[in-house]
């Protein structure tokens, strides 16, 4: 501002305000970068315990960059869970079938073990009534 009617004090205030705005913009940018780095570190630290995240890393980064270009701050965790849920809803991911450990155990004939426990287990109510009324005339 080179107007002749502006005093030295006003010039100093204008320059100080410009410097203050530039400093605040740099501080906001540094804070944004720190939050972004923290978010990325938090997301990538869970890849070791959840390997599925590695498959989504590139797609998540692309979506986060799109959000940042629109001026939005998107958490990588939120974007990942959104993409994961969308893939499940679309049928792209299916749950793994768990093989039961009992299915792989060979079940053959039980050996002739001597025991004082009945092989059938406890009697049902019907069996108990039948045994109690077996020798009675009705």
Query: Is-above-0.75 flag for pTM?
Result: no
In angstroms, the CA 111 to CA 135 distance is: 35
Q: What mean pLDDT do residues 98-124 have?
A: 66
Q: What is the pLDDT of residues 76-93, one digit of tens each?
A: 999 999 999 999 888 887
Q: What angle do CA 44, 48, 51 make, to 5 degrees?
A: 95
Mean pLDDT of the chain: 84
Name the CA dihedral angle for 88, 93, 94, 95, rounded to a multiple of 10 degrees: -80
Residue 132: which pLDDT band, with cuts at 50, 70 and 90? confident
């Amino acid at each position: 501002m080179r107007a002749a009617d502006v005093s030295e004090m006003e010039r100093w205030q204008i320059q100080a305000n410009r410097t203050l705005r530039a400093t605040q913009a740099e501080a906001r940018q540094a804070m944004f970068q720190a939050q972004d780095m923290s978010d990325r570190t938090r997301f990538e630290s869970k890849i070791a315990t959840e390997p599925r995240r590695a498959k989504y890393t590139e797609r998540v980064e692309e979506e986060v960059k799109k959000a940042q270009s629109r001026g939005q701050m998107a958490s990588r965790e939120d974007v990942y869970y959104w993409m994961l849920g969308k893939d499940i809803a679309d049928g792209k991911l299916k749950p793994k079938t768990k093989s039961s450990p009992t299915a792989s155990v060979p079940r053959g004939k039980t050996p002739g073990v001597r025991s004082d426990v009945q092989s059938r287990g406890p009697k049902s109510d019907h069996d108990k009534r039948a045994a109690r009324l077996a020798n009675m005339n009705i």
